[in-house]
Structure 1
């Protein structure tokens, strides 16, 4: 009698463990194209280059003049979409040597527009249009 009860419990335990183990999802691996990897790496490099430009004294002076904190600009750079990042880098590569300040001014215009659209609240002097 003891063997039969033990066998039933063991069979139930094995059946339950089998059901649990069969339901484990399998990991899938896929090949990643080289252009995808290069594109992702390039975006990271572009983002780092924009952040490095904030170390320039002329850019820092312009930010102080406009009343924008460096941390806000850094957060915005980190929050850029891939398309926006590509657009900024294209404009930067086409700009003359003093174009860094132009890019910063472009950032500020974007900040003001997003403040007007109530997406952000960076500048106290910009009122939401809604």
Structure 2
């Protein structure tokens, strides 16, 4: 017992001065939007611009409205795409023949449909979220 008291006292003398240097860490959930904003690149922005240019054509706007998607919703979804998804969609738009833009529109439609089903968006009234 006599040996333990000096060891405890010595340990306290050594460790107590360092208690003021501890830092508190905060952890919080970040949203998908914050993550995408942090990882955007110039190449992804260029791909988004190509897709938005294709979405601004009159025939594409007419097809989107026929499918029940407003052009503003489609632009918002393109803006929220990750860089990889934007590049993939831009490649499909670039490779599509003049009449093949329908495939790109269907791709946007299915992306919107999938995000509705996953509960990330609510674009279509006929879907039910799995959440």
Q: Same fold (TM over 0.5)?
A: yes
Any conservation in 2 of the 1:58–1:101 contact (CA below 8 Å)? no
Cα pair distance change 1:68/1:57, threshold 3 Å: same
Deviation at 1:92, TM superposition (A): 2.2
Gapped runs of 5+ residues in structure 1?
A: 1-38
RMSD: 1.8
Matches within 5 A, 1:84-95: 84-95=85-96
Deviates more, 1:107-116 or 1:89-98: 89-98
Partner Cα separation in structure 1 for residue 101 and residue 50 of structure 2: 11
Deviation >4 Å, runs of 4+ = none
Residue 48 of structure 2 contacts residue 90 of structure 2 at CA under 8 Å; is this kept in 1? Answer: no
Structure 1 partner of 2:59: 58
Q: Which runs of 5+ in 2 are unaligned?
A: 1-39
**Counterpart Cα distance in 1 of 2:129 and 2:41:** 35
Q: Which TM-score applies when normalising by structure 1?
A: 0.63
- Tell which has more relative contact order, 1 or 2 (C-alpha 8 A, sep 6+): 2
Match of 2:21 in 1: none
The corresponding residue for 2:79 is 78
Cα deviation 1:24-80 (Å, max 9, x = unaligned): xxxxxxxxxxxxxxx933322221121112221110110111111111111111111
Q: Which has the larger radius of gyration?
A: 1
Asked if 2 retains the 8 angstrom alpha-carbon contact of 1:59 and 1:104, the reply is yes
Q: Is contact 2:113-2:124 (8 Å) kept?
A: yes
Equivalent pairs, count: 92
